[in-house]
Chain A
Amino acid sequence: MQKVKVAVVGLGKMGLSHFSMINAHPDVDAVACDGSAFMADVLGRNIATRVHRDYDQMLANEPLDAVVIATPSRLHAPMVTAALDKGCHVFCEKPFCLDWQDSQRLTALAADKGRVAQVGYHYRYVGAFAEMKRLIEAGAIGRITHVLAEAYGPVVLRPKRATWRTDKAEGGGCLYDYAAHPLNLLNWFFGAPDQVIGSHLGQVFSEGTDDEVFSTLRWNDGPTAQLSVNWSDESHRKMSTKISLIGTNGRLYADRQECQAYLRKPVPGLAGYEDGWTVKYTTELTEDRWFYLRGEEYSAQLDDFVGAVRDGKAGAAENDFASATETDRTMAMIIENAETGQPVGEARAAAPQPAKKRGWFGR
């Protein structure tokens, strides 16, 4: 079988780890690309894989099947466009595009070209969140009304030198970097929200961008969700994302390690879940892939991408461009709402309950 030829572009924190996993994949013939002379030079001298410095030249000269884009977010739209124009399959880091209209255009372009097009929202590959999705679809906790989506971690803990991650125009900030993850999970569970209100993009230490995010999201045919995210929280060792749901038949909670379910009554067809608490751990919900670097979810999403390209699939198994576009659009709604203070989107009036006039003692 012919190997899939993949270029990993942008060798920063995410890019290096993607490159390591892709390069170790038995079905892949990898090359790398990074604009920095230092990185390209040190790697170029020490590894067998070819390291390019110029993206356009690489696209022109290497017979590539696919690219993995892990450059600063602002560069995603032009780089993905160039790759699709060359006929490459694309895996792009999150957030997809800073302007969701670019995301929409690229979704159409990828579909038009019949390419596998995936975005790196790895939480959908965490066993506990996948179990939560399965339970929601099985109706485990009935009609869900109450949602809390959170993410906390220690990224910006004091005023510091600006990098692209702290520059909003480059796609930095807590909203794009952190909040994108719980929002993407909400999109996975409930779709795009109909209305966004009460958004706050706050600064704690940063000057160029937000360090904390609050928002309220409404679905006309679904729940209301509150988002609470902060990347200036040193009490967490690393990023921690958690979702809590309350429904008419109980409660679900998930984070990277476990999915906890409380069911008031067992649900027919849902094996292994009695009434009361049931806990499933990511460790028992996940299978090993070819290579482990920093968590099964990172290996799994790349393995699915490579597999889809190798097997000539029509699209990505999970996290296709259309689904990432929903998240870009949701973030745009939050930004607009935070800037204008006006609700964004239409909420269908939820059958307003007129206030009843009561006397002190009567009903």
Chain B
Amino acid sequence: MDKLLFGDNQFFGINHMSEEKARAQAMRFQRTDAIMDVLDVAYDAGIRTFMCTTHDRIAEIAKRVKADPARYDGFQFYPCMPYAHKYANAVTEHGMVGALREFMPSDGLLATALTGTKALATKEVDGIARVLIDMEMKMFQGTKAPVVFIQNVFTDLLLGMGFTRAFKIFDDHIREKHGAEPAYITMNMPMLLDALEKEGIERPIICSNINKIGFRMSGGYDAYLDALQSGRVRAVAMSVYASGAIPADEAIHWISELPGVESIVFGASSAGNIRGTKALVDKYMGGGVQTGDPA
């Protein structure tokens, strides 16, 4: 993984500090051109990985990247699935079973299994999960997508329920069918790490909040540091600035000295902030592109 990954919250009106700023961003980025302009700034600054939700609008970005292979030769996506709103809306409209049936191929055995007349066999549950994953991956066909994440709300919902077998289904399917590395976003990293290990998933890639002030590091600051020091996790740090509470230089410097943190993911809309963060990561973390970089 690259040391620095570019996130997408800023493009979709998600801001943890202010609804006003979130709306201003939603206005600014309602056209794909505006998103592409910022991605171009990041790419030209040497940030090659875009970690993004499987939002409908990302399909447009993927199309543009595919359309210009010369320009975007090194551009890679780290998809984060599922795009939860799509499912939430379908569940509101069709109920839980009806929503699932909506997403299955209409002629297949799985749609038949979901008619509700009999209980689902375990292999049918697995099959439904694989179809859903493939559907989310469709927009990335023909692009580089070497790491695939499960979104935190979904990861943590399954984790809390103890439905950890789903992680194993995801893990196997992403490796076997998509030739990519499975990965997990969570707000509860120490708890998730234990659960993944119990499913036989070793040294997982886990993206979670990691910052100097312990902001939204559920399970406790010390438990996070223990997990990182143990070498059991390949960590991607998000919220390193703790929504602006920590000065950039101090935040990156602190992260760079932690064992186990392979990458930082950050979101920004201005060229100044993008180049500033890239420069700090180069300064403290050796910068550069670690894998797949011919230079």
* Chain A residues within 8 Å of B, Cβ to Cβ: 12-13, 16-17, 19-21, 23-24, 36-39, 41-43, 45-49, 155, 160-161, 163, 165, 237, 240, 242, 255-258, 281, 283-284, 288-294, 299
In the complex, what residues of A have CB within 8 A of residue B230's CB? none
Task: Identify the B interface with A (CB < 8 A).
Answer: 12-19, 22, 26, 88, 91-97, 116, 119-120, 122, 125, 153, 156-163, 165-166, 187-188, 191, 214-220, 242-243, 245
The reply to whether A283 and B162 contact each other, CB–CB distance below 8 Å, is no
A interface SS class: mixed
Of all chain B residues, which has the CB nearest A25?
Answer: B160
Q: Assuming the A-B contacts A24-B159, A281-B17, are A290 and B94 also in contact, with contact meaning beta carbons closer than 8 angstroms in the complex? A: no
Which residues in A have their C-beta under 8 angstroms from that of B157? 16-17, 20, 293
Q: Is the CB of B94 within 8 A of A161?
A: yes
B160 CB contact (under 8 Å) in A23, A42, A163: A23
- CB-CB under 8 A from A299, the residues of chain B are 218
Contact indicator B162/A237 (Cβ below 8 Å): no
Chain A residues whose C-beta falls within 8 Å of the C-beta of B88 in the assembled complex: 13
* Contact A38 B97, beta carbon cutoff 8 Å: yes
The distance in angstroms between the C-alpha atoms of A222 and B40, with both chains bound, is 55
Tell me the smallest distance from the CB of B227 to a CB of chain A, in Å: 16
Are the CB atoms of A292 and B156 closer together than 8 Å?
yes
Tell me the complex Cα distance, A242–B17, Å. Answer: 14
Asked if B97 contacts A288 (CB within 8 A), the reply is no
- Checking A46, A258, A294 against B17 with a beta-carbon cut-off of 8 angstroms, the contacting residue is A258
State which of B22, B92, B191, B218 has its C-beta within 8 Å of the C-beta of A288: B218
> Contacts of B187 on A, CB cut-off 8 Å?
292-293
User: Which residues from B are CB-within-8-Å of A47?
Assistant: 161-163
Find chain A residues with CB under 8 A from B95 CB: 163
Contact A256 B19 (CB under 8 A): yes
Shortest CB-to-CB span from B216 to chain A, Å, is: 6
Rounded to whole angstroms, the CA-CA distance of A172 and B201 in the bound complex is 43
Task: Beyond the given A13-B92, A255-B19, A293-B153, please list 16 additional residue pairs across the A-B interface where CB-CB is below 8 A.
Answer: A20-B158, A20-B161, A24-B159, A38-B116, A46-B166, A47-B162, A163-B93, A237-B22, A257-B18, A281-B17, A283-B17, A283-B243, A288-B216, A288-B217, A288-B220, A289-B218
Q: Contacts A165-B92, A281-B17; is A46 near B165 (CB within 8 Å)?
A: yes
Q: Name 26 interchain pairs, CB-CB below 8 A, sorted by A.
A: A19-B161, A20-B156, A20-B157, A24-B188, A37-B116, A38-B116, A38-B120, A41-B120, A47-B161, A49-B161, A161-B93, A237-B22, A237-B26, A255-B19, A257-B16, A257-B19, A283-B16, A283-B17, A283-B215, A283-B245, A288-B217, A290-B218, A291-B160, A293-B160, A294-B153, A299-B218
Measured CB to CB, the nearest residue on chain B to A281 is B17
Provide the residues of chain A in CB contact with B94, threshold 8 Å. 161
Please, which residues of chain B bring their CB within 8 A of the CB of A257?
A: 15-19
Given that A36-B96, A38-B116, A281-B17 are contacting pairs, would A45 and B122 also be in contact in the complex, using a CB cutoff of 8 Å?
Answer: yes
Tell me the minimal C-beta distance from B88 to chain A in angstroms.
Answer: 7
Distance to closest chain B CB from A76 (angstroms):
20
Which 4 A-B pairs give the minimum distances between C-beta atoms? A20-B160, A292-B187, A292-B218, A24-B160
Give bound CA distance, A312 to B19, whole Å: 39
Contacts of B119 in A (CB 8 A): 37, 41
A127 → B minimal CB distance (Å): 12
A49 contacts B160, CB within 8 Å?
no
Within the complex, what minimum Cβ distance (angstroms) separates B116 from chain A? Answer: 6
Q: Output the nearest chain A residue to B122 by Cβ-Cβ distance.
A: A45
Contact of B162 among A13, A23, A284 (CB under 8 A): A23
Question: In whole angstroms, what is the CA distance A284 to B153 when docked?
Answer: 22
CA distance A358 to B158 in the complex (A): 73
